[in-house]
């Protein structure tokens, strides 16, 4: 391919990629209320019960377990991690299950002048945008609702932004993998089986360092990608609370995202070309 032909191809791909993004943005705008409800509901209930109701009725949780930090402070990074992570998974897996169903709506996307791999990557990029938006929406709730004081100090904006974006990409690739390997009628069941264990073993409600009392569980949770998202946000937002070393968090997120990206893209290509 000549240099001129390559330049033309890049422009064509760029315009097609942008067109798919605009199409998805219009769909999101029409469904923005359901997007907000899906994003806010679970974090809102957790924050309300654990950091407002429990302190009011004298049932605090782990008030001084992490260097004197309140449970609300421990919870803030974890629940943002949950909002980002599962918004990213849902934004890819649920629509993909519909598109790969009997109507085969995915074929409309495949008609775009793009390689199939870039069609799948567009879905992940747009889900990452939704994940970032979820973090922006949820953060004020986690700061305003708790009855106990919340001590949040952004120690590194670049780290915070990097972790949120990588978490969105990781979640999007995981959603792409689930959406292509699971039959559409089973996606709801698989979602339930994935969400609960990942959340409760994802260091959302406790720092990873506190698992030293249970060594086998501390090692087991290292296989959970949500652990690195929670710990990365903890390092960026509540640095006074014990957390994983930042280089370990970033290295794990890059490695897991790269592995899931390769695996999910291959799965998508195989599924849509069958």
Q: Residue range 179-186: average pLDDT?
A: 80
Q: Residue range 255-274: average pLDDT?
A: 92
Q: Which of 55-59, 76-80, 88-92 has the lowest mean pLDDT?
A: 55-59
Q: How far is CA 229 from CA 17, 35, 99, 104, 162, in A?
A: 28, 22, 29, 34, 10
Listing DSSP states for 86-110 in one string gives: HHHHHHHHHHHHHHTSTT-THHHHH
Q: How far is CA 199 from CA 22, 46, 80, 206, in A?
A: 32, 12, 12, 11
pLDDT tens-digit profile of 127-181? 999 889 888 888 887 777 776 777 778 888 999 999 999 999 999 999 999 888 8
Of the two residues 170 and 7, the one the predictor is more confident about is 170
Domain count, the chain: 1
**Percentage of residues in the chain with pLDDT exceeding 70?**
90
Cα gap 182→95, rounded to integer Å: 13
User: 267 falls in which pLDDT band (50, 70, 90)?
Assistant: very high
The predicted structure's pLDDT at residue 273: 83
User: 64 falls in which pLDDT band (50, 70, 90)?
Assistant: very low
| Token digits of residue 21 | 């993004």
Residue 70 pLDDT > 60: yes
The predicted structure's pLDDT at residue 8: 67
Cα gap 222→52, rounded to integer Å: 31
pLDDT tens-digit profile of 10-60? 778 788 887 888 888 888 788 778 777 777 777 777 777 777 776 776 555
For 157, the domain range is: 3-273
State the chain's mean pLDDT as an integer. Answer: 83
Of the two residues 11 and 251, the one the predictor is more confident about is 251
The predicted structure's pLDDT at residue 170: 95
The gap between the terminal CA atoms of the chain, to the nearest Å, is 29
* Model-wide pTM > 0.85: yes
Of the two residues 251 and 20, the one the predictor is more confident about is 251
The predicted structure's pLDDT at residue 173: 95
Bridge partners (DSSP) listed for residue 134: none
């Amino acid at each position: 391919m000549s240099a001129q032909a390559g330049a033309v191809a890049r422009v064509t791909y760029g315009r097609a990629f942008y067109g798919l993004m605009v199409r998805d943005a219009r769909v999101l705008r029409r469904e923005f209320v359901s997007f907000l409800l899906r994003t806010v509901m679970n974090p809102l209930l957790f924050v309300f019960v654990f950091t407002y109701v429990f302190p009011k009725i004298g049932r605090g949780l782990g008030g001084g377990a992490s260097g004197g930090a309140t449970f609300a402070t421990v919870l803030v990074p974890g629940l943002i991690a949950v909002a980002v992570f599962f918004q990213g998974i849902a934004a890819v897996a649920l629509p993909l299950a519909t598109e790969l169903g009997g109507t085969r709506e995915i074929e409309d996307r495949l008609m775009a002048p793009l390689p199939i791999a870039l069609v799948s990557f567009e879905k992940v990029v747009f889900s990452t945008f939704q994940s970032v938006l979820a973090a922006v929406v949820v953060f004020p709730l986690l700061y305003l609702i708790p009855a106990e004081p919340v001590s949040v100090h952004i120690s590194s904006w670049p780290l915070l932004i990097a972790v949120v974006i990588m978490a969105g990409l990781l979640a999007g690739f995981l959603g792409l993998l689930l959406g292509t390997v699971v039959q559409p009628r089973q996606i709801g069941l698989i979602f339930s089986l994935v969400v609960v264990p990942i959340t409760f073993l994802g260091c959302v409600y406790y720092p990873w360092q506190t698992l030293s009392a249970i060594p086998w569980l501390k090692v087991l949770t290292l296989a959970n990608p949500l652990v690195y998202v929670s710990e990365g946000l903890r390092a960026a937002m509540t640095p006074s609370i014990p957390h994983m070393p930042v280089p370990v968090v970033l290295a794990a997120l890059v490695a897991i995202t790269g592995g899931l990206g390769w695996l999910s893209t291959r799965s998508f290509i195989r599924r849509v070309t069958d």
